[in-house]
Amino acid sequence: MMTPPCHAKIVATLGPSSDDLATITALAQAGADVFRLNFSHGSHEDHRLRLQRIRAAEVALGRPLGVLLDLQGPKLRVGRFAEGGAELADGAAFRLDLDTERLGDRHRVALPHPEIFAALQSGMALLLDDGRLRLQVERCGADFAETRVVCGGRLGDRKGVNVPDGVLPISALTPKDLADLDFGLGLGVDWIALSFVQRAADIEALRARVGARAGIVAKLEKPAAIDALDEILAVTDAVMVARGDLGVELPAEQVPAIQKRIVRACRHLGKPVIVATQMLESMVAAPVPTRAEASDVATAIYDGADAVMLSAETASGRHPVAAVAMMDRLIACTEADPLHRAALEASHTAPRPLTADAIGWAARSVAGLLDVGALVAYTHSGASALRMARERPRAPILGMTPCQDTARRLTLAWGVQPVWCRDVRDVDDMTALALETAAAQPGARGGCSVVIAAGMPFGSPGSTNLLRIAQLGDLPADPA
């Protein structure tokens, strides 16, 4: 009998190390479910070719593959220095202003972002160069900030600036992002990841442009986003715990608890959540991860995250396929641990009093009582499959849909094996197709039950209201 796929999914970032068809196909065979196109790097033509190769790999492998477009978002940076940089001494005074004509030195540098000055107040912190340097604002105005160096070091040209204590009056969508968004939607990407989210309105602004053409992933990397977590979760389709910038703007010791809080909140609502950044960072150069990295991945799986993500490991690393294969083995080993199921059960929350949630809860209850080989969600929008995934059942979930776009989006959902299928005429036709599909899956067992959920009438988004139990007939022995 073949081993069914892992429940948790893998998001792999494409880049110079992994953008040829052979490598993309190998990444998918090793366990990648979703491919991330990072629009902070590469040209439109680079990304066009990558997406074409993903679709070619999808056809060759005969299963849906998701594509996530990650928008760069606003980049806040200091100006240039006369000597390419300056050493800022602990305790020294340092000025930031809007004068871009003057090159910087150890006393001042330009900060060409009036929106930052508009949000500053005395006592606020400014973090420079990914948090390596820290300033405290002593006095500020509409075009300047007089600061004191709390943690010094060398500050180079165009290094980044973070404002952890303030909500900046800027849009999460820059002109570059808007151009990238239009380009990506034209290509047919499945998910859009929005960087620098601070408030629910950022997601709503993106939704107004995207409509139903792609799902939206809110990247949570700002303290303001954590403060507005409930409001953001109410309007987004999925979430990414972007621990890189989050770890810059918040004390490192707070990030693990925030990660668990976000994962739990997303699980309660049944919205996919990705844990990202530095998961197997050492595999950028080394063929194996550190033990700490292995434990980090396992922690996300024990918590019930829908997906874990690889960034530089697959985009620019020396061992992209090995990194995905290692991630897949870590997931499989963790999910095989009895403590994994115990952890999922212990962290499970009651569903909301909604019909779709009730159907998902009922499917899980049936699966806990009967010998269930598979749960089947026949869905146009993907909602039925997501309601099942929310319950984290033991049995695999077949997300059957006549909509190719929906099948590709479901590649991000925990435990869901997307199946692009024909449309059905009625409930009996749906049941027959569900049984036929379940019988063709790895590990299928004759005589077991199949729990089927759908929405009536067919084709009505968000109408999950039907639950049916059927039995697989006798099946030929699996030669594997």
Lowest average pLDDT, out of 89-98, 217-226, 461-470, goes to 461-470
Cis peptide before 338 (omega within 30 of 0): no
Residue type, position 236, single letter: T
| Residue 445 in this model has a pLDDT that exceeds 90 | no
> Is residue 167 one of the residues assigned to a domain?
no
| Residue 380 in this model has a pLDDT that exceeds 80 | yes
Is the domain of 217 the same as that of 287?
yes
Exposed, middle or buried: residue 279 (CB in 10 Å: 0-12, 13-18, 19+)? Answer: buried
Radius of gyration of the chain (CA): 24
Is the domain of 95 the same as that of 59?
no
- Check: CB of residue 127 under 8 Å from CB of residue 147: no
pLDDT score at 2: 38
Residue span of the structural domain in which 219 resides: 9-73+172-343
pTM of the shown model = 0.92
pLDDT score at 144: 97
User: pLDDT tens, 342-360?
Assistant: 999 999 999 888 888 999 9
- What is the average pLDDT score of the chain? 94
Residue 413, C-beta contacts closer than 8 angstroms, at least 6 positions apart:
9, 272, 306, 382, 385, 386, 389, 397, 399
Closest to 302 (Cα-Cα) out of 414, 226, 219? 414
Residue range 247-269: mean pLDDT, rounded = 94
Residue range 286-299: mean pLDDT, rounded = 97
Cis peptide before 457 (omega within 30 of 0): yes
Residue range 446-453: mean pLDDT, rounded = 89
Percent of the residues in the chain that have a pLDDT greater than 70, as a whole number: 97
| Residue 479 in this model has a pLDDT that exceeds 50 | no
Pick the last residue of a domain from 343, 377, 395. 343
Report how far residue 380's alpha carbon sits from residue 204's, in angstroms, rounded to the nearest whole number: 23
Task: Give the pairing type, strands 307-310 and 372-378.
Answer: unpaired
User: pLDDT tens, 203-225?
Assistant: 999 999 999 999 999 999 999 99
> Is residue 138 one of the residues assigned to a domain?
yes
Is the domain of 376 the same as that of 331?
no
Domain total for the chain?
3
What residues are labeled active site? 36, 77, 219, 277
pLDDT score at 111: 97
* Band of residue 4 on the pLDDT scale cut at 50, 70, 90: low
C-alpha distances in Å from residue 108, one per residue of 105, 129, 143, 225: 6, 16, 13, 31
> Is residue 78 one of the residues assigned to a domain?
no
- Check: CB of residue 421 under 8 Å from CB of residue 203: no
Pick the last residue of a domain from 108, 135, 162. 162
> Is residue 237 one of the residues assigned to a domain?
yes
- Check: CB of residue 274 under 8 Å from CB of residue 238: yes
Compute the 3-state secondary structure of the chain and give helix, strand, coil in percent, each to the nearest 5.
Answer: 40, 25, 40
Report how far residue 310's alpha carbon sits from residue 22's, in angstroms, rounded to the nearest whole number: 18
What number of other Cβ atoms are within 10 A of residue 282's Cβ? 16
Lowest average pLDDT, out of 21-25, 202-206, 251-255, 415-419, goes to 251-255
Percent of the residues in the chain that have a pLDDT greater than 90, as a whole number: 84
Report how far residue 425's alpha carbon sits from residue 81's, in angstroms, rounded to the nearest whole number: 69
Sheet holding 144-151, edge to edge: 108-110, 93-97, 144-151, 133-141, 125-128, 161-162
CATH of the domain at 127: 2.40.33.10
Strand partners, 153: 88
Largest CA distance in the chain: 80
| Residue 368 in this model has a pLDDT that exceeds 50 | yes
Is the domain of 438 the same as that of 339?
no
∠ CA 252-253-258, rounded to 5°: 90
> Is residue 127 one of the residues assigned to a domain?
yes
pLDDT score at 476: 53
- Give the phi and the psi of residue 260 in degrees, each rounded to 5: -65, -40
Is the domain of 202 the same as that of 266?
yes
Residue range 268-292: mean pLDDT, rounded = 97
Closest to 342 (Cα-Cα) out of 370, 373, 302, 306? 302
pLDDT score at 272: 98
